Structure 1
Amino acid sequence: MLKSARKQEKDPEGRMPLAEHLRELRNRLAKALLAIVAVTVVAAFFYNDIINLLTKPILDSVGCDQTFEQLANATESSEPCAEITINGLLTPFTLALQVSLMAGVVLASPVWLYQLWAFVAPGLHRHEKKYAYAFVGTGAPLFLGGAYFAYSVLPTTASVLLDFTPDGTSNLLPLDDLLDLVLRMVLVFGLSFELPLLLIFLNITGVITGKRMLSWWRAMIMGITLFAAITTPSTDPLTMLALAGPIWVMYFGATAFSLINDRRRSRREAMGPADDEASDLDLTPEDIGEVEAVSATRALPEQSGTDRVNGYDDVT
């Protein structure tokens, strides 16, 4: 009975006192943290599989497989290879914690994202919710697409970097440094793929126009190229273009969408407000002389006669 009464007392527009907001935030955070901890505990039992999944592309490309066939052909092949190592006594344990926590945050993202949305959504209007659904539904696939793209580029990146190995030396890759490299590339590629979504959001909110975005195309191509050259760890142009090329295409796609949206907005403004919308107020100041002239024309009507009834004229 008490729970049903509390549900009935809730404002349909999501308004509540500050104490209720803080209590709601506490409950949402507790649920999100509980989900992350639960998934982290489960992922701890499979952290070896997670590490193998992250390092498999690099090992398949440049790993030194210690087999008799590999050792027999070692003198015939001059291509450098690398072996993954772990330095320190506590490093395996700390790596297991880091990988498990990372997996917990990623795999529990549907839960904590829903908790965040459930806390913010009651304060949004209907059209704001529509835009939020569209951006979240588009942003997640873009980020995953960028992350997968980085995962597929890793073998080429590792092979190019190891080509700089001097003759007569061997490569030892610390596992913690290798995981940092993989995560950094995944995050950089994933966040870079969010650029067109940010530009579309700025256009919808009226901050920038499609014509201005189109006028920036030279600077944007140069900036995207420099960004790809700095963020990619390898120095070969193929890896740089692998990141810059898709961002170029998505930038021009966002520009085309913004131009179409600007035309639609201008047509809607030319048609005027809808029947259920109030028109804009004319706040232009008027000359005092014009106001006095208008007020003079709106004077009291002329009296038909000078006779008074009970001491009053026909106007008063």
Structure 2
Amino acid sequence: MTSTDKSQATSNNKRRKKPPKTPDGQMSLREHLRELRNRLFKAAIAIVLGTIVGFIVYQPAFTILTEPITRLSTDEAPVEVIFSSVAQPFDIMLQVALFIGLILSSPIWLYQIWAFIVPGLKKQERRYAVGFIAAAVPLFVGGIALGWFALPQALAFFTSLTPDGTAHRVLATVYIPFVTRLLLAFGIALVIPVVLVGLNMAGILEGKTMLKHWRISVFLIAVIAAMGAPGSDIMTMFYLGAPLTLLFGLALGVALLNDRRRAKREATEGTPAEAEIQRGAQPLSEFRDED
């Protein structure tokens, strides 16, 4: 085999790695599962790399995460974070490093979510990937910042219940998961409206469907806010529920506008199936020429 044949075979193999599609850009179930596996693998690699960085900056990160509760300590009711076993510091190190890895790698795994939806979009619609990342990443980080703002008030409420003359010793294995889950809940919650817009662009979710079930959506927002808020802290629920409701309204407006734009395009160009039939149809003049 010559070098030219080898290079051609190599290029053919590279082209085969890309999942085949039908003329309208759709993939089979097996191809969707393969695409999902590839996206999950890439996201996992990014998270692992971010977690390695998390191990490096673990000590200052742990100090920052425990600062909101340690500063509430008073002479009458001291507050401190403690470890109850020899192996617990390592467990906490893993959790903090993974938390940092999720934040640092958020542009990658958020893009992988979008890229998994991309095969259902038209070529001219894939340019919105930049807009998706530009909106999703700041919202995710902004949600974590919002959760960090609400955290001290929630902690102040709970520690205020400590009786005078007693110490409030908090296990690190309880406190760190409490904080990281709260912050991630805020971050992920604010990304949900962007995902809804992505599903709308993929043709999976219509804006009128979102509008029809807006009461259910508001109820789900309240549930998410209640799950993200620790205990019965009403203010934390408000900090999460208010921006999430606002973002849902914005996502609903974008979805309705996109539906209107898609309807106008299909009215002029026809549906994708009709366009395919028109491309495959043979003009009547050709039949006359053959006769």
Both proteins in one fold, TM over 0.5: yes
1:10 aligns with 2:21: no
Report the structure number with the largest CA radius of gyration: 1
SS across alignment from 2:81: strand
2:73 to 63, 67, 74: 63
Q: Which residue of 2 aligns with 1:163?
A: 160
- Residue 15 of structure 1 aligns with an amino acid whose one-letter code is R
Unaligned stretches of 5+ residues in structure 1: 65-70, 75-79, 282-316
1:52 aligns with 2:52: no
Q: Which residue of 1 aligns with 2:286?
A: none
CA shift, 1:94, in A, is 3.4
The alignment's C-alpha RMSD in Å is 4.2
Q: Which residue of 2 aligns with 1:186?
A: 183
Partners in 2 of 1:99 and 1:90 — Cα distance?
A: 15
CA shift, 1:221, in A, is 1.6
Aligned pair in 2 of structure 1 residues 7, 101: CA closer, same or farther (>3 Å)?
A: farther
**Residues 1-316 of structure 1: pairs in structure 2 closer than 5 A:** 6=7, 9-11=10-12, 14-16=15-17, 43-60=54-71, 62-64=72-74, 71=75, 74=76, 80-104=77-101, 106-107=103-104, 126-127=123-124, 129-273=126-270, 278=275, 280=277
**Preserved CA contact (<8 Å) 1:32 1:115:** no
SS across alignment from 2:162: coil
Partners in 1 of 2:211 and 2:118 — Cα distance?
A: 34
Partners in 1 of 2:148 and 2:90 — Cα distance?
A: 25
**Preserved CA contact (<8 Å) 2:110 2:136:** no
SS across alignment from 2:242: helix
1:96-123 CA-to-partner distances (Å, cap 9, x unmatched) read 344345445644666788999999999x
1:235-279 CA-to-partner distances (Å, cap 9, x unmatched) read 1221111110001000110111111112212222222359xx936
**Preserved CA contact (<8 Å) 2:58 2:97:** yes
Partners in 2 of 1:112 and 1:205 — Cα distance?
A: 19
TM-score of the aligned structures, taking structure 2 as reference length: 0.70
SS across alignment from 1:83: strand
Q: Percent identity?
A: 33
Partners in 1 of 2:43 and 2:230 — Cα distance?
A: 38
Q: Which residue of 2 aligns with 1:314?
A: none
Aligned pair in 2 of structure 1 residues 40, 7: CA closer, same or farther (>3 Å)?
A: farther
Structure with bigger helix share is: 2
Partners in 2 of 1:148 and 1:6 — Cα distance?
A: 51
Unaligned stretches of 5+ residues in structure 2: 20-33, 279-291
Moved more, 125-134 or 145-154: 125-134
